[in-house]
Structure 1
């Protein structure tokens, strides 16, 4: 798995988790969903993603480092 795919996977899991927490625990967890969305939005402009830095430190490689072809 590459860093890029791990970031998308992580973001999807966090969105689903925050929706479940909002539904079953407390409506205030909706702010968690907002936070995840805001991070994705700012990443599209700045390229800065804390999760990507963590995944790199865990040993995942970027697509450009692996020679993988992006399907997007």
Structure 2
């Protein structure tokens, strides 16, 4: 798995987790989903993604989008 796929998988997991916790526990968890969405928009404009930085430090190989 490369960084691109790892970031997309992680983002999808965070979105689904935020939606599930918002529905089952407390609506404030929807803010987690909003944060994930805003971070994806920010990364598309700037090319900087904190999750990609973490995955790179963990030794995940580079991809096309995040190198």
Q: TM-score, normalised by structure 1?
A: 0.86
Q: CA-atom RMSD, angstroms?
A: 0.8
- Distance in 2 (CA, whole Å) between partners of 1:8 and 1:32 is 16
Matches within 5 A, 1:1-72: 1-64=1-64
Show structure 2 runs of 5+ residues with no match: none
Q: Deviations over 1:17-42 (max 9, x none)?
A: 00000000001111111000000000
Instruction: Report how many residues are paired.
Output: 64
Bigger Rg, which one:
1
Which runs of no fewer than 5 residues in structure 1 stay unpaired?
65-72
Q: Secondary structure at the match of 1:59?
A: coil
Which 4+ runs in 1 deviate beyond 2 A?
Answer: none
Q: Structure 2-normalised TM-score?
A: 0.92
